[in-house]
Chains A and B, each alone.
Chain A
Amino acid sequence: MLVSLTSTTPDATDLGFLLHKHPDRVRSVDVGFGRAHVFYPEATPDRCTATLFVEVDSFAASKRRSGRQSLHLGGLEPYVNDRPYAASSMLSVAIGRLFRTALAGTCDARPELVDRPLDLAVELAALGVRGGADVLQRLFQPLGYDVECAPIPLDTEFGDWGDSRYCSVRLAGRHTVRRTLEHLYVMLPVLDDRKHYWIGPDEVDKLMRRGGEWLAAHPESELITRRYLRFGTLAREALARLAEAGEDVDRADRRHDDAEQANERRMNLRELRLDAVMDAVRGAGAGRVADLGCGEGRLLQRLIDEAAVTAILGMDTSIGALERAERRLGLDEMSERRRERVSLAQGSLTYTDERLRGFDVVTLVEVVEHLDPERLDVFADVVFGRAAPAAVVLTTPNREYNVSFEHLGQSGLRHGDHRFEWTRGEFTAWARGVGGRYGYGCEISGIGPDDPQCGPPTQMAVFRRAP
């Protein structure tokens, strides 16, 4: 991986003083994960370029990554990866190491140069840009850079694979060397948005030190901070190992969630949905409530706050989601009286489960569409046949409404993991059928703005067991 810094402000070779590296020599330093070299491909009074090239020892790096913090991509990612080549947090570390003095704003030989803005250009041969050129613009334009970004194709022999996530990037702007190095130091890991190699409790300090003077005013400061401080999320190693070749469940989910949320955020659909479900739960008399497919526990939070709900079971198939729910709800810190009402359990909607018996209400919020259509009969048997609560509250997208969404996947569905989405007619037919089979009456309604043509974005069925 490498980065080049070019100054075109005469006398350009002053760059050597500022970086504390002589333009006619090579400086090589061991940086733990490999060896970093600084050399000057060009050094004239008009134009001077310093290149920082890091030879990453991919073997050393993979050893470091085999610990619990890594999220695998098909299991082999720790060993086969772009880390030796693409600019990342490791490059930030190398910058911190080789240009420490410059970052500190010291220049003993020519102190007057430190605060002098220069016409600088930064070139990165391969930079992974999460979010694409748009994010790159949003991050660097406010800082006063002209941004050029040329995508790199995945494989020239397989043209239809399209572009890779890497770009060859050129940033040009008038800044002090120190500030430009700070920008790079913070932005490289933010753009790359992959696991940092040096996560530690002092990350917040580092961010403050390098970005303290400009970050707060940056319009994207929230995005920058969030991504920079993205500590290794839960090590879901077992699951990741299972994730089939190339399918990192977590990552895929995150991607899908992003798209779905972007669509729905505009109308605050999630809140509307929870409101409607809570109304239905109250209407059904509350009592003992099981939320199946509880995810990270947004509905559970509402249920906990509802005194009429005497017992709450949150069930999900994803252990990761349950762990996040546990943290979100703060179950550890809850008073015993509140805590006793809540339990979380891993389960599946395609296996019958004794633990689901005896509930008054079962809620299924945006869950059924994640099941393969072939499994719907088993699902109905598990919920209506075996768990057999007095009432079932179920919500699912209305496919007809999708025409008014911008971000839809190739399948035309709202979320990459949706196996289907029903039109209003299809949903009603299914709900009536299931209700009839298992002896439940059902009432169908909509959630969100009711479009005259397409109906509401979300549809809801409230089933009540016939007495």
Chain B
Amino acid sequence: MRPTLTEIEIAEPGLVVLCGASGSGKSTFARRHFASTEVVSSDQCRAMVGDDETDQTVTAEAFDLLHTIVRKRLEIGRLTVVDATNAKTPDRKALVEIARRADLMVTAIVFDLPLAWCVERNSSRDDRQTPRHAIKRQHETLRRNARRLRKEGFARVHTIGTADELDSVRIVRSRLWCDRRDDVGPFDIIGDVHGCHTELVEMLDRLGYDVAARPVTHPDNRRAVFVGDLVDRGPGVAEVLEVVMSMVDSGSALCIAGNHENKLGRALAGRQVQMTHGLAESLVQLEQRSAAFRDQVAVFVDGLISHYVLDGGRLVVAHAGLPERYHGRASARVRDIALYGDTDGESDEYGLPVRYPWAADYRGDAAVVYGHTPVMAAEWVNNTICVDTGAVFGGELTALRWPERELVSVQAAEVYYEPVRPLDAEPHADDRAHTALDISDVAGKHIVDTSLAGRVTIEAEQSSAALEVMSRFAVDPRWLAYLPPTMAPVATSTRDGYLEHPDEAFAYFERAGVREVVCQEKHMGSRAVVVMARDVGAAEARFGIANEAGGVIVTRTGRAFFAESAATASLLARLRAAAERTGLWDRLGTDWLVLDAELLPWSAKGAELIQDLYASTGAAGTAALSTASKLIAAAAGRGVALDELAARTDERASHLGSFIDAYRQYCWDTDGVEGVEIAPFQILAAHGEVLARRPHAWHLDEIDALIAEAPDVLCRTDRRHVTIDDAASIADVTDWWHSMTERGGEGMVAKPADPVTFNDKGLVLPGVKCRGREYLRLIYGAEYLAPENLQQLRQRSLKRKSSLARREFALGIEALDRFVANEHLSRVHQCVFAVLALESEPVDPRL
């Protein structure tokens, strides 16, 4: 008699298939042990498609639905329990196949209860009774083929044979072995060691481990993670195993399987393997040790698993790397790909297998650290990095410190093994890594995770509008590391004759708990993002694209400012030279920069708008109102009572005159780039750092230095510093704003001294604009200052605009973060695209 079943262990995530005749207690069991959402039942699916749980005529449709639900749940990694008879092999096979495709394990729980018991339970149901003969048939079928279940692909089969077991059995959920998300490190991930014991010890020492101790530990509880291939080729295989095994044993290290451990394991188990690629050397070295040690090694390598998901899912370590869809999954396929890479049988000129360049297409959130293929230097490609730098071939042993993302290398003492293929012949991730953007990266509804504002949702209609603009007008997306966010105006002023006034800017920051504020002159031009490399080579290296100008100057929707590339080239050349002379390149240790700026005059880019809208309105208005005045005067001369109309018409003419003056301020003649000025106000990013997080004071100082070197093309942004509780500084800035705007200036932008500032409510607006009275005529119309009009305008609502400004700002910074971290182009593009998409939101364009 078999022992009583007390515990059923199931893998989570994974698929659990309940098999049993009607009345065998599956549904009751499922209800007791699983959340209702985890259970997918064939009866429910019947009801969903056909309104009746017992309607056998909709069986095909119901199972279609059931399979779809199971597939979707497994795809996103949810534990799923199928409650159906599952008596016949084909029914179960379909489910096993779905689990296999999702690379998850499938467990069977067989309800092998006595037929009489099932029939008895079934007959006690008031609804949906199954005929006795049907139950009998199910029961027999299942009995007949139950023992085949392992063969059908079920990883575990549990049989419940008695009503007692049914009542008492417990379900134990266990995480997959690869799932170590709870383990947050810090880690030191060490590349392929291949028996280089000397180098390993030096590395551990350098990483701060106490190498004299046994086992080796780290005083700060850092842990080593070995990417596999500890063995073969090198001289100290046994010693390396000794160190690593003891570390893993004591918990001061983790180790995943490499293909070499895999093969060694088979050799130690006495299986027939080819003694190539250094395996023979390993076996010779192990022969010198005791049989007990060899047994330990056999157990150790046998227990190594394919990959680990660590640190909350932010880090994945797999020997040969791993595409995102296999992270945290367990199947023979996953193990194969993790150990050997995705190969399809082809070999290169050195006879080594050609692997699919998975890293080129990698778009995942998790950083993937891997080894397997020796490279000259460890480099981040799309958030993946290979840390096998060929120690055994006379290269280096490399470690990656996590989460610091710092690399540590130890030079190999000698060439222990001649590489089949020279190290520098390893093909780089191919070019598609940079150019291939897929429509699915941007189309439809998207959610972008941002570090500043959490999840930002982009609706399908917004994406659709952005797609047209992006693909018809924007520059090559490889240049677009950033698009600027919109900016909210200050709250509406209640002062007589003002719609916007600095008081409200300071009130906002006071409420937000921000004490130090920088007020910057707002230039009336066109927003411009400058992307430039130090030279063409640097552009090619960083952006994967080169042009004559070595960069681009784009508008806020990503289109090139100048049709002629010579114009961009000439502006960038001057800017580049200025950065050279101030030593900015070297000070920042960068060979590329992204700047946020305003390009002047307005008429350089806005000529069409100025002429079509502003000058046209002015022209029509002047003609109409002057004629009207004349005719009114003539009629009045005849004694018609028109005094009031005459006065009103004069008043309107004067408003129109001010309106014309307002737009004329921002127009001057330019010829190509002659007469064009750039007013940079932020250095957004450079190699290794998103500078947009640095205080504004730093930016303005650096930019002032640039301006001194190129005063003909660069234009200074005047600014004032305000301390919110210092009334004198506020009065001073208010006066400054008045004098600026009365001279025709657009106004100012007030920003927290630190661009990224949080308070207890979240992200503080990165700036609020406060526009001048005269300038606002261009926004609200010539006559907006008439008291009855102003009164109406005061009802404007700023909420959506502020929310939009915050989200777009977060997206912009996210784009830069991803760009600086060398993530896949699509991950950067998604953020940039999202800024553009949000700009299609219906918000009052006057804000």
Spell out A's residues near B (CB within 8 Å): 1-2, 4, 24-26, 37, 39-43, 49, 51, 53, 55, 58-59, 62, 72-77, 79-82, 84-86, 125-126, 128, 152-155, 157-158, 160-161, 164-166, 168, 237-239, 241-247, 249, 317-319, 346-355, 370, 372, 374-375, 377-378, 381, 417
Contacts and interface: CB of A to CB of B under 8 A. Distances in A.
Nearest to B545: A374
Contacts, number: 234
Contact of A26 (B559, B610, B641, B782): B641
Contact of B627 (A73, A86, A125): A125
Given A59-B789, A85-B620, A319-B464, A244 B559 contact: yes
Contact of A81 (B472, B613, B615, B628): B613
Interface in B771-802: 778-783, 789, 792
A184 to B, nearest CB: 16
Given A79-B846, A154-B615, A350-B437, A317 B467 contact: yes
A411 B655 CA distance: 39
A346 B555 CA distance: 24
Interface of B: 432, 435-443, 461-462, 464-472, 475-477, 526, 545, 547, 555-557, 559, 605-621, 623-628, 630-632, 634-635, 638-642, 645, 648-649, 652, 660, 664, 667, 669, 778-783, 789, 792, 836, 839-840, 842, 845-846
B617 A85 contact: yes
B608 A246 contact: yes
Contacts of B613: 73-74, 76-77, 80-81, 246
Contacts of A4: 631
A24 B638 contact: yes
Nearest to A245: B609
Nearest to B619: A164
B201 to A, nearest CB: 48
Given A41-B634, A85-B624, A245 B442 contact: no
Contact of A59 (B616, B627, B641, B792): B792
A60 to B, nearest CB: 9
Nearest to A163: B619
A154 B619 contact: yes
A92 to B, nearest CB: 16
A245 to B, nearest CB: 5
Contact of B840 (A37, A79, A239): A239
A75 B15 CA distance: 53
Contact of B842 (A126, A241, A247): A241
Contacts of A319: 464-465, 468
A76 B846 CA distance: 7
Contacts of B664: 155, 157-158
B619 A155 contact: yes
Nearest to A164: B619
B486 to A, nearest CB: 11
A372 B376 CA distance: 37
Which of B443, B464, B623, B792 counts the most chain A CB atoms within 10 A? B623
Contact of A40 (B609, B635, B842): B635
Contacts of A346: 443, 464, 467-468
A39 B645 CA distance: 11
A152 B778 contact: no
A239 B465 contact: yes
A152 B621 CA distance: 11
Contact of B781 (A49, A58, A161): A58
A381 B435 contact: yes
Nearest to A63: B792
Contacts of B630: 41
A80 B613 CA distance: 7
A278 B648 CA distance: 65
A350 B825 CA distance: 14
Contact of B620 (A77, A128, A237, A247): A128
A235 B329 CA distance: 48
B465 A154 contact: no
B779 A39 contact: no
Given A2-B631, A377-B435, A81 B617 contact: yes
User: Interface SS of chain A: helix, strand, loop or mixed?
Assistant: mixed
A168 B623 contact: yes
Contact of A152 (B623, B649, B836): B623
A319 B468 CA distance: 8
Contacts of A58: 781, 783
A378 B638 contact: no
10 contacts: A4-B631, A41-B638, A55-B652, A164-B619, A243-B469, A246-B610, A317-B471, A318-B472, A353-B439, A372-B476
Contacts of A352: 436-439
Given A41-B638, A51-B631, A351-B441, A242 B840 contact: yes
A79 B778 CA distance: 9
Contacts of A354: 438-440
B645 A82 contact: no
A269 B660 CA distance: 46
Contact of A247 (B466, B608, B624, B779): B608
A245 B676 CA distance: 18
A239 B476 CA distance: 20
Contacts of B439: 347-348, 351-355
- Counting from the closest, the 7 A-B pairs by CB-CB distance are A246-B609, A75-B845, A41-B634, A125-B627, A348-B471, A238-B465, A246-B608
A349 B471 contact: yes
Contacts of A245: 526, 605-606, 609
A291 B676 CA distance: 43
A346 B442 CA distance: 12
A41 B631 contact: yes
Given A37-B645, A79-B781, A126-B623, A26 B640 contact: yes
A166 B635 contact: no
B840 A241 contact: yes
Contacts of B605: 245
B615 to A, nearest CB: 4
Contacts of B468: 239, 249, 317-319, 346
Contact of B611 (A2, A126, A154, A237): A154
B546 to A, nearest CB: 10
A26 B842 contact: no
B523 to A, nearest CB: 15
Contact of B437 (A24, A247, A351): A351
Given A76-B845, A82-B617, A319-B464, A39 B609 contact: no
A155 B615 contact: yes
B620 A164 contact: yes
Which of A53, A77, A157, A318 counts the most chain B CB atoms within 10 A? A53
Contacts of B606: 245-246
A79 B40 CA distance: 57
Contacts of A154: 611, 615-616, 618-619
Contacts of B627: 2, 125-126, 168
A346 B610 CA distance: 32
